[in-house]
Amino acid sequence: MHRAISRLKSSPIILVAAAALSGTGCYGYYQPVNSNLTGHQIQLSLTDSGAVILAPQVGFGIESVDGKLVTDSAARYIVSVSGIRRRDGMEADWRGEPVYIPHALVSSVMERRFSRARTTLFAVATTIALATVKRAFGGAGGATAPGGSTGTGGGPR
């Protein structure tokens, strides 16, 4: 009986964790599903020559450009840039500045999409971590009064 009550007490924590995780998710960059990516979040990986040619616009040693694809013409992409990643791994945030990137300077195009597998893995790991913390630090949930009593009148007076 005590375990059933204990489970009911811990279920609000699990419900709160599930509600918090349902509003968030994990994303990744994947091969595009369709050819029209206008308005989508994309990542353009640059060729070596592309990094050199675009250096005055985006900085030196850039590996990839992330952002929203504004236009994709026959010759170039116009991207509202949200961030860049350098070849040394350093990243920098941008504020949506438009950058013109010729197709010839791009080695690959990836689309940012929701990842069901990553989100599920994160949700399971977070739930296990919360349950472990609850079990480790939760205890019986009551204070002990002087004399070993729980304060319900069962101890010496």
What's the pLDDT at 130? 82
CATH 2.30.30.100 fits 32-114, yes or no: yes
pLDDT along the chain (157 residues), means of 10: 47 56 70 91 97 96 97 96 96 97 97 76 80 77 59 57
What's the pLDDT at 4? 44
User: At which residue do the structure tokens 């308005």 appear?
Assistant: 39
Nearest to 66 by CA among 86, 41, 46, 88: 41
> Six-digit token pair at 51?
């990094």
> Which stretches of the chain are DSSP H helices?
2-22, 48-53, 55-58, 116-138
User: At which residue do the structure tokens 């961030």 appear?
Assistant: 83
What's the pLDDT at 84? 98
Is the pTM above the cut of 0.75? no
What's the pLDDT at 50? 97
